[in-house]
């Protein structure tokens, strides 16, 4: 038996951080998750799989726009026509009712666990191999209870679990996506647990397999690398399962870094950036410039300017784009030796969670988005890097003045 | 730094004034003096010698403008300090009007050696005059500012004591704070981050609105289904109505046929009619008609024949003359042949004897004369005479010819004929006279010329005497004459025949009514024609007879036929054929009716019942039909409406299905978020850097501020005798009363606020004492202190004085008493104490 497992298609979701791109790029960006889904369906048809598991967040919203719905329905119909069993659950983004789906009724399409009911379905492949699938769909954007406890004991046949969920953490505020403990899943001992929600592809456990396939198309710079689906093959005798990742995304996000050790001219800088951003397919690059404090303020402004990125992008292959530049400074702060310890201590204190929250409170309270940002480690780190670069750059000026 | 001596060269009202402080165990110096004694002048002097003269150009926290006196230049003096290491510093600052810096020229001496000024100022952390005045000088003006004291001001001053380049770091801190402030303000609208936040919120609404597409689409597809169902129902109903309508309409259309059938049925009646008999009658009638026509024709022909029957006996007589004519023809031919024969013979004669020719025409007498002449001739000379005489006159000949021609012409053209006759007669007359004349002249010649008679003879008769044989000539002449006679009789006969013919031709001409030429061919042809005509007449007569027979037969036949016909008419009970014709027509009409009935019946067969119903109440049925029409048009309208509604929905659905609005709005939101994120990072990094610098300075200044606060609280408790026990110094200064109530500084009593002021400033001085230790100058600051408070401040001053030199300038004797110290008394006009 062969199956495909994917999740987090987020069909109508935007890409972050690309406001400066020309509008034709946006058409490509908009179509990227759709293209990835088509590629997955093509793979299913080509491999003649028996089953396709869709582990939630197919749509970015519980009110997906009709065009995405129609597109999705069209792709599912291709699978149905090939008599490939499709099992889908809703995630925290597309927490809709089954009735809202535009996919036509078919014995080959099953929306599992409508309205958060844990549901088990039994199927038999064309070769007569029996299997069960157990799972549930979101009906609200949060599920705080641990639903694993309610999962049934497996029968004496191959059993898939399917769930859109996040591992339990120590922070209760984050335990709103059907929190589970890995050990619980392992204890269930289903043959394959198809997870969704985490966009980073990862295998939580190998025996039995507990798998996040990641999303099918990266949407911002923190979703780097190839994206796609898992293609699984089950030995029908031993029930051993092999999985293989298949990349289907049309656009890959990637981080690259250059390190500056001495000041350099604008031309040299461009040259070094272009040389670093090599691509074999359409890639959106985020560039980290280490030693950015070696750049003058004007150079820094230039390098952070969209027009500069576009100019660099024009020199890249496969329609790749430079979409972000971040500065990293690793040199010591240019302050008197005796005072350095105070600055380091101060930085530590300032960026301590509570203190940063206090400092950024006025701003963070303005909007849910700013509040989320304030709590995002990535963002705080970005601010920290920027602060370091800014301060050090100024301190250099200070010292230059003094010296 | 302990101030041990003041030496004033010229300052304010002082000139050459020196104060030595020599108070070994106490660091409190009390200066007592009434108002205007110069207490504030000394405070100003101390500050200005250290930090520069204040020549009224800059605003100052307190009154310190001391202009140099014109005649007592230079202005200034010296301060003498001793530090903890017992080094002696002299700071001399002098200003001569118009020379050097307006701050005055400072000379620093360490142990009487001139040194760079920073040797001294490094030991007081390079503070400026403002710092010194704010921190170390207490007077009424400064007390009034207690409400304005802020943490930042205090911190600022403390930071001076911390890291290297503190002032620059403070600038940086302010720079970043200011930048942050331009990017975002808590309650702002215009800073870019605030603006982006607003846009973001708007965009979130847009996204929510755009996500409405989903609901819209669902509603639309629900609508669509409903409309489709409605349409189906309507179409079903339309179909039913249409069927009903069609049935009824069909019936309605059949009504005329049905009515016709009805009419036709009423028209039917039995008609006795034998078509065979009719046929016979018809045939007979036709026969009779034909016979009648035939008879008429025969009668007509007969009457025609009768008209044409003339007496043709003349023609018959003429025809019988044909053999006679043929005989005439032969005879005529013979005459012509005979004539030719005679003429031929005559010619032979003339040829045999040339002289004959000359005499051939001579008459018997002429011949005799010739004979005589010849005989009278000596010789051959007589021969010519006769010849001469016999010669016919040519003119006469022409005349004859003309006469003949005239006669002929008379037949052809009468005018020419008469002309020719007249001419002929004229010529004949003239010929005659000519001949006579000539004869007369010849005779005369013969008489005259006898000798030449022969010649004359020859000439006269035109004969050649040499070959002249009179006998033969006469013989020939006789023969010739015989011939001539024969010719004449022939010609006569010919003429007679011709006349006969002409006569006959005239007769024929008369009978046939056309001119017949007088020649045999024509006459014979005319005769043939006549005989043919007679033949025709004969055959007509025969035909007439046959026709008459025919007519008789026909009449008999007609009679028979009439009898037969009448019998048939009688049998058919009709008078005549017309009547019979009518009966036949009626019969055929009935047949046609029967046929039509049959056709209609077979057509209407299935609908007959309905037709009967329909016609029973025709009005009702018609109403029913028009009602159906109405209903149909209504349902048609409904269908059209539903269809257009469906089309509309479909268009909307398609538009939604192709819409990228949601994505576009979300992408716009994402873009805004990115912008906000980037700008926020910018803002936060600025803010954080400023906080970071502040915090680092704080750390570098060894956390002096918290410590200072502790001290200040302690001092406040001391000064207020525990009425106030906490200070909250942030943006607004508040104190906490013993009962826990927090009171803002502006609501404190004047006395309490002054106590707070003292507590804070003294705590600060206390806090920085190890870094900056300068004399504390208290200039008449206790005006509002009642006795109890004076006690308390006394205690505090003594406490402070353990670390700092305190100089009190006062006009209050009670305070001086309380201090239990010997004051330096300043009086107006004091020159030296």
* Residue pLDDT, tens place only, B327-376: 888 888 888 888 888 888 888 888 877 777 777 777 788 878 877 877 77
Q: Which of A247, A264, A297 is the last residue of a domain?
A: A247
Instruction: State residue A164's pLDDT score.
Output: 95
For chain B, give the number of residues: 833
Chain A positions in Cβ-Cβ contact with residue B213 (cut-off 8 Å)? 63, 65-66
**What tokens were used for A312?**
């660099």
Instruction: State residue B385's pLDDT score.
Output: 46
SS3 content of chain A, % helix, strand, coil (to 5): 35, 25, 40
DSSP B656-720: HHT--HHHHHHHHHHHHHHHHHHHHHHHHHHHHHHHHHHHHHHHHTTTHHHHHHHHHHHHHHHHH
DSSP A278-301: --SS-EEEEEEEETGGGS-HHHHH
Query: Which of B493, B512, B490, B513 minimizes the C-alpha distance to B501?
Result: B493
Residue B214 forms contact with A (CB below 8 Å)? yes
Residue B152 has pLDDT above 50, yes or no: yes
The answer to whether A197 touches A191, Cβ cutoff 8 Å, is no
**Residues of chain A predicted below pLDDT 70:** 330-332, 336-338, 397-403
Contact A66 B653 (CB under 8 A): yes
Q: Cα(B310)–Cα(B540) distance, rounded to whole angstroms? A: 12
Same domain (yes/no): A221, A365? no
Contact A360 B687 (CB under 8 A): yes
Same domain (yes/no): A234, A275? no
Q: Which one of A95, A346, A396 would you mutate to disrupt binding with B, by most B Cβ within 10 Å of its Cβ? A: A346
Q: Which of A247, A268, A290 is the last residue of a domain?
A: A247
Instruction: State residue A382's pLDDT score.
Output: 86
Same domain (yes/no): A161, A196? yes
Contact B669 A16 (CB under 8 A): no
Terminal C-alpha separation, chain A: 74
**Quick one: A207 exposed, middle or buried, by C-beta within 10 A (0-12, 13-18, 19+)?**
exposed
Instruction: State residue B115's pLDDT score.
Output: 92
* Residues 6+ positions from B594 with CB-CB distance below 8 Å: B268
Residue B536 has pLDDT above 90, yes or no: no
Q: Cα(A93)–Cα(A83) distance, rounded to whole angstroms? A: 28
Pairs of CB atoms within 8 A across A/B? 174
Same domain (yes/no): A154, A268? no
Q: What's the gap in Å between the CA of A369 and the closest CA on chain B?
A: 8
What chain B residue is nearest to A16 in terms of C-alpha separation?
A: B670
Instruction: State residue B467's pLDDT score.
Output: 74
* Residue pLDDT, tens place only, B498-530: 888 888 888 888 877 778 788 888 888 888 888
Same domain (yes/no): A298, A241? no
- Residue numbers of A between 258 and 277 with CB closer than 8 Å to B: none
Q: Cα(B707)–Cα(B702) distance, rounded to whole angstroms? A: 9
Same domain (yes/no): A117, A259? no
- Average pLDDT of B389-411? 73
What is the number of alpha carbons within 13 Å of residue A123 lying toward its C-beta? 25
Q: Which residues sit opposite A242 in a β-bridge?
A: A233
Residue B217 forms contact with A (CB below 8 Å)? yes
User: How many separate domains does chain A show?
Assistant: 2
ipTM: 0.73
Same domain (yes/no): A320, A209? no
Q: Residue A195, SS3?
A: strand
Q: Residue B38, SS3?
A: coil
Which of the four pLDDT bands, split at 50, 70 and 90, describes residue B381?
very low
Chain B positions in Cβ-Cβ contact with residue A93 (cut-off 8 Å)? none
Q: Cα(B727)–Cα(B724) distance, rounded to whole angstroms? A: 8
Query: Which of B507, B529, B528, B532 minimizes the C-alpha distance to B518?
Result: B507
Q: Which one of A286, A332, A344, A387 would you mutate to disrupt binding with B, by most B Cβ within 10 Å of its Cβ? A: A387
Q: Cα(B21)–Cα(B775) distance, rounded to whole angstroms? A: 12
Q: Which residues sit opposite A192 in a β-bridge?
A: A160, A209
Q: Which residues sit opposite B92 in a β-bridge?
A: B78, B107
- Residue numbers of A between 329 and 358 with CB closer than 8 Å to B: 335-336, 338-339, 342-343, 345-347, 349-351, 356
Residue A143 DSSP symbol:
B
The answer to whether B401 touches B423, Cβ cutoff 8 Å, is no
Contact B217 A69 (CB under 8 A): yes
DSSP B149-197: --HHHHHHHHHTTSSTTHHHHHHHHHHHHHHHHHH--TT-SSSHHHHHH
Same domain (yes/no): A235, A265? no
* Residues 6+ positions from A252 with CB-CB distance below 8 Å: A218, A224, A225, A226, A227, A279, A281, A282, A283, A284
Instruction: State residue A249's pLDDT score.
Output: 93
Q: Cα(B313)–Cα(B317) distance, rounded to whole angstroms? A: 6
Highest averaged pLDDT of the listed ranges A289-303, B45-59, B554-568, B749-763: B554-568
Residue ranges of alpha helices (H) inside B468-519 are 470-512
**What tokens were used for B719?**
């000064």
Query: Which of B490, B501, B461, B491 minimizes the C-alpha distance to B477?
Result: B461
* Residue pLDDT, tens place only, B257-287: 888 888 888 888 888 888 888 888 888 888 8
Q: Cα(A57)–Cα(B812) distance, rounded to whole angstroms? A: 84
Instruction: State residue B380's pLDDT score.
Output: 42
Q: Cα(A40)–Cα(A230) distance, rounded to whole angstroms? A: 10
Closest residue to B164, CB basis, from A14, A336, A351? A336
Looking at residue A66, which CATH number applies to its domain? 3.60.21.10
Residue B683 forms contact with A (CB below 8 Å)? yes
The pTM of this model reads: 0.52
Same domain (yes/no): A207, A335? no
Residue B121 forms contact with A (CB below 8 Å)? no
**What tokens were used for B119?**
């040797």
* Residue pLDDT, tens place only, B437-478: 777 776 666 566 666 777 777 777 777 777 777 777 788 888
The answer to whether B139 touches B40, Cβ cutoff 8 Å, is yes
Instruction: State residue B281's pLDDT score.
Output: 86
**What tokens were used for A288?**
């980290």
Instruction: State residue A245's pLDDT score.
Output: 96
In which region does residue B733 sit, left (phi positive, over 0), alpha (psi from -120 to 50) or beta (all else)? beta
Instruction: State residue B160's pLDDT score.
Output: 62
* Residue pLDDT, tens place only, B41-56: 888 889 889 988 877 6
Chain A positions in Cβ-Cβ contact with residue B672 (cut-off 8 Å)? 19
**What tokens were used for A206?**
């190998």
Nearest 5 degrees, angle CA B101-CA B106-CA B110? 165
Q: Which of A228, A247, A266 is the last residue of a domain?
A: A247
Residue ranges of alpha helices (H) inside B268-321 are 275-308, 313-320
Contact A363 B663 (CB under 8 A): no
Same domain (yes/no): A185, A334? no
Which secondary-structure segment (H or E) carries B29?
strand B28-33
Q: Does B533 or B59 have the greater pLDDT score?
A: B533
Q: Residue B731, SS3?
A: coil
CA–chain centroid gap for A349, Å, is 31
User: Which of A370-377's residues contact partners 24+ apart within 8 Å by CB, and which partners?
Assistant: A370/B197, A370/B676, A370/B680, A373/B677, A373/B680
Contact A363 B680 (CB under 8 A): yes
Instruction: State residue B246's pLDDT score.
Output: 86
Mean predicted lDDT score pLDDT of chain B: 81
Q: Residue A370, SS3?
A: helix
Q: What's the gap in Å between the CA of B690 and the closest CA on chain A?
A: 9
- For strand B724-729 and strand A321-328, is the pairing parallel, antiparallel, or unpaired? unpaired
- Residue numbers of B between 594 and 653 with CB closer than 8 Å to A: 653
- Residue numbers of B between 124 and 163 with CB closer than 8 Å to A: 162-163
Query: Which of B40, B50, B113, B101 minimizes the C-alpha distance to B78?
Result: B50
Same domain (yes/no): A256, A229? no
Instruction: State residue B1's pLDDT score.
Output: 85
Q: Does B494 or B416 have the greater pLDDT score?
A: B494
Q: Which one of B196, B662, B693 would you mutate to disrupt binding with A, by most A Cβ within 10 Å of its Cβ? A: B662
Query: Which of A225, A331, A228 minimizes the C-alpha distance to A286?
Result: A225
Q: Cα(A251)–Cα(B236) distance, rounded to whole angstroms? A: 54
Closest residue to A387, CB basis, from B662, B675, B685? B685
Instruction: State residue B22's pLDDT score.
Output: 62
Residue B172 has pLDDT above 60, yes or no: yes
Same domain (yes/no): A236, A265? no
Instruction: State residue A44's pLDDT score.
Output: 95
Instruction: State residue B108's pLDDT score.
Output: 93
Closest residue to A64, CB basis, from B214, B683, B687? B214
Q: Which residue segment(s) compose the domain that A268 sits in?
A: 252-402
* Residue pLDDT, tens place only, B779-801: 876 666 677 777 777 888 888 88
């Amino acid at each position: 038996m062969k199956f495909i497992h994917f999740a987090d298609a987020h069909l109508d979701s935007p890409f972050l951080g690309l406001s400066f791109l020309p509008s034709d790029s946006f058409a490509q960006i908009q179509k990227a998750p759709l293209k990835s889904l088509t590629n997955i369906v093509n793979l299913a048809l080509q491999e003649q799989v028996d089953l396709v598991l869709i582990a939630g967040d197919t749509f970015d919203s519980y009110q997906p726009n009709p065009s995405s719905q129609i597109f999705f329905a069209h792709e599912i119909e291709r699978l149905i026509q090939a008599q490939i069993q499709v099992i889908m659950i809703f995630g925290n983004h597309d927490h809709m009712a089954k009735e809202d789906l535009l996919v036509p009724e078919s014995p080959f399409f099953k929306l599992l666990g409508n309205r958060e009911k844990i549901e088990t379905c039994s199927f038999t492949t064309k070769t007569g191999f029996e299997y069960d699938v157990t799972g549930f769909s979101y009906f609200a954007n949060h599920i705080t209870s641990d639903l694993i406890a309610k999962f049934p004991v497996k029968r004496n046949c191959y059993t898939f679990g399917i769930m859109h969920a996040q591992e339990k953490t120590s922070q209760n505020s984050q335990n709103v996506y059907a929190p589970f403990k890995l050990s619980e899943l392992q204890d269930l001992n289903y043959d394959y647990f198809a997870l969704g929600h985490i966009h980073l592809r990862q295998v939580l456990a190998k025996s039995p397999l507990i798998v996040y396939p990641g999303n099918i198309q990266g949407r911002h710079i923190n979703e780097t690398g190839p994206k796609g689906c898992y293609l699984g093959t089950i030995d029908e005798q031993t029930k051993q399962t092999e999985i293989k990742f298949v990349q289907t995304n049309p656009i890959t996000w990637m981080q690259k870094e250059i390190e500056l050790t001495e000041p350099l001219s604008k031309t040299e800088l461009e040259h070094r950036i272009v040389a670093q951003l090599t691509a074999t397919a359409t890639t959106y690059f985020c560039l980290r410039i280490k030693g950015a404090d070696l750049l003058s303020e004007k150079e820094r402004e230039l390098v952070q300017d969209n027009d500069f990125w576009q100019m660099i992008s024009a020199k890249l292959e496969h329609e790749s784009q430079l979409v972000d530049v971040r500065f990293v400074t690793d040199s010591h702060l240019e302050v008197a030796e005796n005072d350095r310890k105070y600055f380091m201590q101060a930085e530590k204190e300032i960026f301590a969670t509570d203190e940063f929250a206090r400092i950024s409170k006025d701003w963070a309270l303005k909007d849910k988005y700013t509040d989320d940002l304030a709590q995002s480690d990535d963002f705080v780190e970005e601010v920290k890097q920027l602060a370091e670069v800014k301060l050090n750059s100024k301190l250099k000026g200070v010292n230059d003045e003094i010296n | 730094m302990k101030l041990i001596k003041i030496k004033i060269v010229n300052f304010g009202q002082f000139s050459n004034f020196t104060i030595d402080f020599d108070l070994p165990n106490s660091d409190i110096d009390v200066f007592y003096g009434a108002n205007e004694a110069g207490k504030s002048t000394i405070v100003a002097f101390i500050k200005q010698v250290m930090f520069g003269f204040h020549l009224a150009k800059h605003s100052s926290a307190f009154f310190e403008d001391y202009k140099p006196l014109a005649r007592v230049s230079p202005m200034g003096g010296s301060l003498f300090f001793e530090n903890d290491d017992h080094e002696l510093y002299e700071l001399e600052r002098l200003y001569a009007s118009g020379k050097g810096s307006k701050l005055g020229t400072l000379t620093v001496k360490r142990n009487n050696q001139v040194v760079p000024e920073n040797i001294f100022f490094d030991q007081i952390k390079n503070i400026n005059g403002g710092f010194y005045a704010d921190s170390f000088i207490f007077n009424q003006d400064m007390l009034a500012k207690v409400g304005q004291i802020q943490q930042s001001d205090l911190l600022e001053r403390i930071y001076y004591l911390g890291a290297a380049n503190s002032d620059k770091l403070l600038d940086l801190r302010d720079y970043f704070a200011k930048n942050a402030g331009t990017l975002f303000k808590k309650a702002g609208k215009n800073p870019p981050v605030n603006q982006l936040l607003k846009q973001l919120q708007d965009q979130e609404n847009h996204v929510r609105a755009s996500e409405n597409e989903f609901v819209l689409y669902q509603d639309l597809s629900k609508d669509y289904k409903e409309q489709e169902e409605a349409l189906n129902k309507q179409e079903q109903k339309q179909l039913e109505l249409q069927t009903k309508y069609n049935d009824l309409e069909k019936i309605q259309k059949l009504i005329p046929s049905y009515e016709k059938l009805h009419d036709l049925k009423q028209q039917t009646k039995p008609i006795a009619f034998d078509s065979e008999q009719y046929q016979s009658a018809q045939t007979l009638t036709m026969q009779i008609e034909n016979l009648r026509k035939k008879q008429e024709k025969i009668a007509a022909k007969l009457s025609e024949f009768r008209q044409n029957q003339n007496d043709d006996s003349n023609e018959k007589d003429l025809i019988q003359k044909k053999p006679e004519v043929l005989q005439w023809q032969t005879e005529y031919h013979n005459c012509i042949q005979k004539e030719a024969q005679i003429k031929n013979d005559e010619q032979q004669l003339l040829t045999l004897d040339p002289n004959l020719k000359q005499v051939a025409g001579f008459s018997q007498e002429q011949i005799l004369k010739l004979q005589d002449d010849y005989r009278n001739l000596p010789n051959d000379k007589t021969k010519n005479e006769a010849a001469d005489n016999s010669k016919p006159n040519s003119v006469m000949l022409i005349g004859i010819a003309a006469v003949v021609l005239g006669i002929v012409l008379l037949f052809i053209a009468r005018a020419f004929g008469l002309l020719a006759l007249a001419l002929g007669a004229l010529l004949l007359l003239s010929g005659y006279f000519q001949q006579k004349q000539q004869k007369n002249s010849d005779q005369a010649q013969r008489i005259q010329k006898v000798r030449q008679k022969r010649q004359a003879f020859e000439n006269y008769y035109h004969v050649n005497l040499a070959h002249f044989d009179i006998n033969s000539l006469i013989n020939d002449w006789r023969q010739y004459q015989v011939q001539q006679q024969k010719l004449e009789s022939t010609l006569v006969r010919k003429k007679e025949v011709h006349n006969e013919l002409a006569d006959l031709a005239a007769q024929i001409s008369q009978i046939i009514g056309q001119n017949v030429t007088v020649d045999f061919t024509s006459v014979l042809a005319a005769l043939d024609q006549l005989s043919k005509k007679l033949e025709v007449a004969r055959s007509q007569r025969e035909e007439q007879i046959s026709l008459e027979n025919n007519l008789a037969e026909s009449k008999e036949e007609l009679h028979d036929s009439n009898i037969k016909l009448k019998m048939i008419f009688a049998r058919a009970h009709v008078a005549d054929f017309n009547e019979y014709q009518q009966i036949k027509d009626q019969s055929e009409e009935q047949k046609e009716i029967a046929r039509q009935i049959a056709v209609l019946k077979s057509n209407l067969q299935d609908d007959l019942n309905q037709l009967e119903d329909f016609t029973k109440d025709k009005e009702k049925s018609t109403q029913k039909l028009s009602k159906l029409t109405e209903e149909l048009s209504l349902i048609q309208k409904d269908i059209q409406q539903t269809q257009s509604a469906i089309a509309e929905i479909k268009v909307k659905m398609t538009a939604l299905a192709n819409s990228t609005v949601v994505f576009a709005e979300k992408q716009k939101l994402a873009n805004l978020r990115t912008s906000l994120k980037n700008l926020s990072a910018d803002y936060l990094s600025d803010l954080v850097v400023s906080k970071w610098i502040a915090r680092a300075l704080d750390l570098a200044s060894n956390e002096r501020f918290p410590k200072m606060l502790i001290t200040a609280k302690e001092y406040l408790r001391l000064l207020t005798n525990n009425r106030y026990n906490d200070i909250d110094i942030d943006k607004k200064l508040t104190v906490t009363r013993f009962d826990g109530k927090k009171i803002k500084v502006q609501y404190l009593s004047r006395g309490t606020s002054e106590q707070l002021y003292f507590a804070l400033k003294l705590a600060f001085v206390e806090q920085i004492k190890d870094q900056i230790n300068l004399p504390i100058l208290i200039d008449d600051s206790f005006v509002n202190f009642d006795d109890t408070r004076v006690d308390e401040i006394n205690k505090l001053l003594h406490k402070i004085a353990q670390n700092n030199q305190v100089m009190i300038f006062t006009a209050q004797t009670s305070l001086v008493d309380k201090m239990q110290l010997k004051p330096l008394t300043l009086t107006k006009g004091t020159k030296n104490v």
